[in-house]
């Protein structure tokens, strides 16, 4: 039986908790791997009803699907966990299992209650997998939302999932991996929004797929980036004019063009840590031959790609 992770309720200050280990990699082999299982925004690509070139080819046929943003984590003790329960959970669960010696994930961490991040939980229910007490971790408001709204409450009543709330700045210990919840400003209609900080024995990774604007956060992304090794950050939209028929103020995100301009004075060693992720179907960065994609690379940043992995 998989061991329950330990939640640390007496968290250290940010600068201490993410201090990178000074042990030589020659003396300590990485035992944690984070796998990118999807890179799209909540609605995926192609998006329902979209007839633009980003979703259909010249023949009017739908372009190959791009899965929603999701991470998988494999540990040395044969446990694994999903970060997000997306509408693509079926394939992402299967892929993570294959990456972990055909052993199914035993835990799920969720950032917030927007459709691309939690609705895959329905696949754990009686009509589908009928799982037994899969651990699900998220913020207190998210836990209350699941407990008090159908059809999600049935997952709790039938013991398909076991809910555990994590407070802001609390850490969870999964074997040799520590995960810390960082609250970020976002459209919190049903729950708070978290980013997660992953600290292995060798390196650290920051995951923030959704945030309104970096300037609204009470933590400085400029100082935080200096203390991590990798950062998978909100790249939902490239620019202001991307959705001409939508009020962008209703779906605030930091535009990638805006972020790279703000971070232009960062050292090259800091820029190279950034991998933009969570791309809307309209985002030209999905096209790896686009001028925008090439421009971001020239500026020293990266784009996440399904299938890449990070050793911690």
What pLDDT digit, counting tens, does each position of 224-275 carry? Answer: 999 999 999 999 999 877 776 776 667 789 999 999 999 999 999 999 999 9
Q: Looking at residue 241, what is its pLDDT?
A: 75
pLDDT the model gives residue 303? 98
- Provide the CB-side half-sphere exposure for 289 (13 A, CA): 0
**pLDDT per residue over 52-97, tens digit each?**
988 999 898 999 999 999 999 999 998 999 999 999 999 999 999 9
Q: Is the pLDDT of residue 279 over 60?
A: yes
pLDDT, tens digit, 9 for 90 and up, residues 179-201? 999 999 999 999 999 999 999 99
Query: Which of these, 164, 95, 94, 153, lies nearest to 121 by C-alpha position?
Result: 153
Q: Which residue has the tokens 């609390």?
A: 170
In percent, how much of the chain has pLDDT > 70?
Answer: 89
DSSP track, 58-69: TTSPBPPPBPBS
Strand partners, 108: 82, 136
pTM above 0.85, yes or no: yes
pLDDT at residue 240, rounded to an integer? 78
**Residue 287: pLDDT over 80:** yes
Q: Is the Cβ–Cβ distance between 208 and 232 less than 8 Å? A: yes
CB 31 within 8 A of CB 201: yes
Residue with tokens 């200050």, as numbered in its chain:
13
Q: What is the mean pLDDT of residues 126-136?
A: 97
For residue 16, what pLDDT band results from cuts at 50, 70 and 90? Answer: very low
Delimit the domains of the chain by residue range: 28-311
Q: Which CATH class is domain 28-311?
A: alpha beta
């Amino acid at each position: 039986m998989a061991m329950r992770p330990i939640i640390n309720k007496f968290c250290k200050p940010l600068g201490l908790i993410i201090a990178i280990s000074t042990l030589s990699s020659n003396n300590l082999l990485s035992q944690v791997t984070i796998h990118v299982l999807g890179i799209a925004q909540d609605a995926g690509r192609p998006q329902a009803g979209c007839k633009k070139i980003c979703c259909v080819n010249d023949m009017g046929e739908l372009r190959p699907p791009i899965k929603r943003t999701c991470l998988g984590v494999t540990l040395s003790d044969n446990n694994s966990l999903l970060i997000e329960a997306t509408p693509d959970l079926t394939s992402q669960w299967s892929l993570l299992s294959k990456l972990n010696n055909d052993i199914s994930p035993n835990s799920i961490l969720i950032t917030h209650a927007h459709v691309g991040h939690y609705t895959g939980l329905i696949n754990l229910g009686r009509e589908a997998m009928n799982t037994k007490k899969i651990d699900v971790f998220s913020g207190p408001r998210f836990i209350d939302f699941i407990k008090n709204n159908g059809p999600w409450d049935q997952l709790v009543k039938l013991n398909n999932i076991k809910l555990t709330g994590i407070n802001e700045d609390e850490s969870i210990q999964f074997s040799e991996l520590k995960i810390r919840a960082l609250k970020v400003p976002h459209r919190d209609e049903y729950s708070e929004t978290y980013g997660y900080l992953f600290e292995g024995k060798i390196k650290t990774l920051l995951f923030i797929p959704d945030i309104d604007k970096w300037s609204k956060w009470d933590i400085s992304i400029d100082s935080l980036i200096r203390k991590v090794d990798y950062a998978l950050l909100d790249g939902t939209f490239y620019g202001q004019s991307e959705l001409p028929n939508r009020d962008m103020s209703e779906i605030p995100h930091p535009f990638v063009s805006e972020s790279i301009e703000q971070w232009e004075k960062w050292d090259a060693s800091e820029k190279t840590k950034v991998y933009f992720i969570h791309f809307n179907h309209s985002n030209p960065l999905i096209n790896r031959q686009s001028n925008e994609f090439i421009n971001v690379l020239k500026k020293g940043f990266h784009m996440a790609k399904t299938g890449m992995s990070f050793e911690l």
